[in-house]
């Protein structure tokens, strides 16, 4: 196995055993990165600094320290996560070269565990979209097919991990933005329970909905990063599939999906049943209606509060209007600009959304409890990657449908409820594009959900690497 093909856990073991040096590993990843520039996964890099940090890790013997869970491991950060050594632009012109005052706590936790900063990854501008077709930084291309979207808004993070430029990355997820690009790029994306990780030092949309999340090539790797970010025990409970109870909410998550997605799900559900999993059919009462009342009112109202607070914290002499004035991507300019005039989300609509969110959370909690479910199981997204540039509509089962709401349909409800969700690869379409399987669990069941995902991952064939 080549160094760049190692998972985070495999690379960490090799570093600890001294069968590979941190400098050798960093150099191997840099070589892949430099051969894959067409993907456009990165916004900023400092390979000289990365190699210097790797050599320091080797000379300081950090790589053999048991308390440094990520020692010598280069990890990429989405370009809305603050770092002192590389600027944080959020993929938008007004924040070009913006230098934060501090590392974001999630970044600092990784560095404290010995991780090295691989670079900052491309994203949909200000995280307000699902394609990472950014008019300012350029589109990120899917490693499996360069004409296709990588997903978003953490598209650069997912593409870098899938293409073997890094073993892991952090993205952020408001309604889909870790799990969707993970699904479209054939990697693992974990969105924790909201509040599990600190949200400080991250360019925000909505404090009620935003969270950072790891993107990796195995569930075990995601669990390791989760343990670093929240102080959980490193190991996962090893679960037997026999006896697990998974909810299958067909009207909520399956109806209208691409035929290849549905076929893949049916094959997987049959596998799970043969392995002893109890599949419980039934939808979450009132979920769709409640979810529709929550998402956009929360995000749009809190943007006008949270983004100015972030700018003020870093002492940037910029207003929301000045940010909006320079936005390059038309879709994002329309969304943010709408909040600066008479169309701004009113306080009453925001308060109504908060009340609806309480009911949505209760509906989920009741569904999990009444059916004794470990998780809900469904396709992460109801269609695979589509061509870059189809920002308004995409084809689904022979019809043109709105791009944004179609891609986030399955990921948005759990986001609004604040519950944990994880996307794992479940295979490829006939055209060779990845498909993702999502598991959503009860609030604060993060480690249990990771253990369930690991058990299902073991049932599936290993995901191959995209050709490079």
Which of 44, 131, 153, 227 is the catalytic position?
153
153 a catalytic residue: yes
The Cα 127–Cα 332 span in angstroms is: 9
Q: Which of 21, 78, 415, 423 is catalytic?
A: 78
- Omega before 153 cis (within 30°)? yes
> Which is nearest to 205 in space by CA: 362, 461, 423, 416?
416
For residue 304, what are the contacts with CB-CB under 8 A and spacing of at least 6?
Answer: 320, 339, 344, 345
Q: Which two tokens stand for residue 129?
A: 């979209």
| Pairwise CA distance, residues 245 & 28, whole Å | 42
Q: Of 328, 415, 408, which Cα lies nearest the Cα of 89?
A: 328
- CA-wise closest residue to 298 among 348, 225, 245, 354: 354
Contact 143, 468 (CB under 8 A): yes
For residues 301 and 291, what is the distance between their CA atoms, to the nearest angstrom? Answer: 16
Residues 6+ positions from 358 with CB-CB distance below 8 Å: none
Other C-beta atoms closer than 10 Å to the C-beta of 460 total 14
Catalytic residue among 154, 177, 227, 445: 177
329 is catalytic: no
- Catalytic positions, please? 78, 153, 177
């Amino acid at each position: 196995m080549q160094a760049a093909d190692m998972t985070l856990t495999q690379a960490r073991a090799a570093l600890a055993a001294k069968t590979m040096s941190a400098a050798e590993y960093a150099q191997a990843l840099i070589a892949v990165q430099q051969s894959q520039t067409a993907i456009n996964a990165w916004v900023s890099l400092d390979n000289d600094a990365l190699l210097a940090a790797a050599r320091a890790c080797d000379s300081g013997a950090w790589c053999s320290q048991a308390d440094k869970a990520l020692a010598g491991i280069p990890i990429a950060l989405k370009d809305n996560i603050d770092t002192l050594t590389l600027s944080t632009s959020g993929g938008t012109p007004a924040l070009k070269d913006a230098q934060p005052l501090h590392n974001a706590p999630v970044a600092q936790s990784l560095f404290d565990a010995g991780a090295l900063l691989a670079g900052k990854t491309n994203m949909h501008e200000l995280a307000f979209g699902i394609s990472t077709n950014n008019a300012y930084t350029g589109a990120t291309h899917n490693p499996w097919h360069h004409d296709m979207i990588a997903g978003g808004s953490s598209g650069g993070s997912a593409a870098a991990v899938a293409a073997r430029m890094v073993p892991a990355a952090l993205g952020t997820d408001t309604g889909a933005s870790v799990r969707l690009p993970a699904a479209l790029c054939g990697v693992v994306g974990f969105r924790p329970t909201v509040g599990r990780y600190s949200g400080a030092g991250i360019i925000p949309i909505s404090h009620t909905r935003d969270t950072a999340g790891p993107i990796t090539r195995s569930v075990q790797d995601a669990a390791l990063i989760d343990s670093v970010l929240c102080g959980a025990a490193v190991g996962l409970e090893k679960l037997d599939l026999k006896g697990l109870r998974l909810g299958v909410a067909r009207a909520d998550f399956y109806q209208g999906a691409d035929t290849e997605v549905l076929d893949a799900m049916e094959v997987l559900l049959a596998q799970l049943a043969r392995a002893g999993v109890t599949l419980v059919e039934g939808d979450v009462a009132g979920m769709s209606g409640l979810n529709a009342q929550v998402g956009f009112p929360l995000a749009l109202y809190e943007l006008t509060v949270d983004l100015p607070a972030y700018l003020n914290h870093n002492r940037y002499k910029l207003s929301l209007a000045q940010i909006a004035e320079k936005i390059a991507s038309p879709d994002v300019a329309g969304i943010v600009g709408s909040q600066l005039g008479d169309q701004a989300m009113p306080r009453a609509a925001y308060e109504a959304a908060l009340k609806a969110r309480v009911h949505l959370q209760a509906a989920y909690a009741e569904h999990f409890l009444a059916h004794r479910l470990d998780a809900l199981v469904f396709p992460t997204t109801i269609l695979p990657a589509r061509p870059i540039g189809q920002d308004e509509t995409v084809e689904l089962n022979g019809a043109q449908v709105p791009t944004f709401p179609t891609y986030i349909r399955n990921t948005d409800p759990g986001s609004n409820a604040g519950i944990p969700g994880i996307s794992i690869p479940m295979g490829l379409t006939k055209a060779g594009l990845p498909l993702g399987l999502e598991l959503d669990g009860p609030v604060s069941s993060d480690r249990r959900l990771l253990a369930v995902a690991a058990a299902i991952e073991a049932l599936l064939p290993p995901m191959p690497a995209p050709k490079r």
